[in-house]
Structure 1
Amino acid sequence: MILKGIPVGPLGANCYVVGCEKTKEAVVIDPGGDVARIRMLLAEQGLSLKYIIDTHGHIDHIAANDDLREATGAKILIHEADSGMLGDSKLNLASFMGFSTTFKPADKLLTDGDFIEFGELKLEVLHTPGHTPGGISLKAEGAVFTGDTLFNGSIGRTDFPGGDFDTLINSIINKLLALPDDTNIYPGHNSQSTVEAERKFNPFLR
């Protein structure tokens, strides 16, 4: 598996490029801006983009959706419960940042338990609401991409529209901490961690 991560956009959200070493098919997770850098990373790795996956519908994770789709022909995927955020600047928080930005609809809506296949790889969709109603995490072999659900030593905010603290904690405990301890966590912001480290040291989960 090819895995590269870069911070993008004004809030430095983590954008991940995941590719199949054999077929060179790839996905981009959370293209929150800097489309030229994302395309350069794909080119450097010789990857062909199949899917753009939004872990949730906030602007710092979706800002390059339309530009990247137009440039590559890749399909945009988002959980069905967050699909309406793409076209609503209040829900996607663009208005919170002083913009009225909206985005075109996704090509496919995801639900819990779906598998996203590219090359010889696949990601399992784990519905992990709480930060947003349609927040998802993406499980790969030995890794999970958690968006803004779970961070290194912290958790996602729940004070935005659609957020709920109890729902978020339940998602983390029942979906993420249920994974093997040595599972690497690749969050939507800041540095990576492991399931074991978050279970032991995350102050919100003790």
Structure 2
Amino acid sequence: MKWNQIPLGPLQTNCYVLSKEDNSCLIFDPGEESEKLSDYIRHNQLKPHAIILTHAHFDHIGVVEDIREEFGIPVYIHKKEADWLLDPALNGSLRYEMIKNVSGKPADYFITEEQEMTIGDFTFQILETPGHSPGSLSFYFQDSGLVIAGDALFNGSIGRTDLPFGNHNQLIKSIHDKLLILPEETIVLSGHGPATTIGQEMDSNPFLNGF
């Protein structure tokens, strides 16, 4: 399985496209610049199966509707943030004058618990990692040794918790209980910035001292 990181929009939010040898793919967090993302998919002759959201802040969902409509694929999100796709006040886009209000249609599928999920030929573990937002999810692909962690864990940092519904203690617990238990060589694909590994963050992340 291949993965590609595509930073999108003014906040350079990482969209990830995971693809197989048959060119089937999954799209995670299409936040902005639908044309750029669409061009990448079409140029590489990829066949998307689904859009999967780590959480529903505006910079991670901004072009969900464009991509869903263009490729005719379903959207997956945690049920706790189901209304965030519809409500600019919840997804945060209403807070910023320079950001267009983000409001779309309901997701097609709602995730309610941790589980193993298979979409097409992709099989992965769903991990609930709240704290940055109530319905934050991480997606662990054991066979490929990577986890898509959204805005929970970054290279040298952690997700902010000063936004509405954020909870610092909950985030630290999520990272400790769900992410740091993964093999140290696991690649962490974060919502912003470069990739890292679980081992690197255990050794040097200043927010995780004491773990």
Using the size of structure 2 for normalisation, the TM-score is 0.93
Question: Is the 1:26–1:118 Cα contact (8 Å) retained in structure 2?
Answer: no
Q: Where does residue 56 of structure 1 map in the other structure?
A: 55
Question: Is the 2:49–2:120 Cα contact (8 Å) retained in structure 1?
Answer: no
Q: Where does residue 17 of structure 2 map in the other structure?
A: 17
- Distance in structure 1 (CA, Å) of the matches to 2:75 and 2:30: 10
- Write the mapping of 1:48-127 to structure 2, written as runs, cut at 5 A: 48-98=47-97, 99-127=100-128
- Distance in structure 1 (CA, Å) of the matches to 2:57 and 2:135: 11
Q: Where does residue 144 of structure 1 map in the other structure?
A: 147
Q: Per-residue deviation at 1:90?
A: 1.2
Q: Per-residue deviation at 1:65?
A: 0.3
Aligned residues: 205
Is the deviation greater in 104-113 or in 67-76? 104-113
Q: Per-residue deviation at 1:197?
A: 0.5
Q: Per-residue deviation at 1:161?
A: 1.2
User: What letter is aligned with 1:4?
Assistant: N
Q: Where does residue 174 of structure 1 map in the other structure?
A: 177
Change (3 A) 1:77 1:91: same
RMSD, aligned CA: 1.2
- Distance in structure 2 (CA, Å) of the matches to 1:58 and 1:79: 12
The one of 190, 200, 205 equivalent to 2:203 is 200
- Distance in structure 2 (CA, Å) of the matches to 1:199 and 1:108: 34
Higher relative contact order (CA 8 A, sep 6+): 1
- Distance in structure 2 (CA, Å) of the matches to 1:161 and 1:21: 41
**CA offsets per residue over residues 125-155 of structure 1, 9 Å max, x none?**
1110000000001101300011000000000
Q: Where does residue 33 of structure 1 map in the other structure?
A: 32
Structure 2: tracts of 5 or more residues without a match: none
- Distance in structure 1 (CA, Å) of the matches to 2:113 and 2:180: 17
Q: Per-residue deviation at 1:74?
A: 0.8
Q: In structure 2, the residue corresponding to 1:3 is in which secondary structure?
A: strand
- Distance in structure 2 (CA, Å) of the matches to 1:38 and 1:115: 27
Using the size of structure 1 for normalisation, the TM-score is 0.96
Q: Where does residue 157 of structure 2 map in the other structure?
A: 154
Q: Per-residue deviation at 1:120?
A: 2.5
User: What letter is aligned with 2:74?
Assistant: K
Q: In structure 2, the residue corresponding to 1:178 is in which secondary structure?
A: coil
**CA offsets per residue over residues 75-125 of structure 1, 9 Å max, x none?**
011111111111111110101122433121100001332334234322221
- Distance in structure 2 (CA, Å) of the matches to 1:68 and 1:120: 21
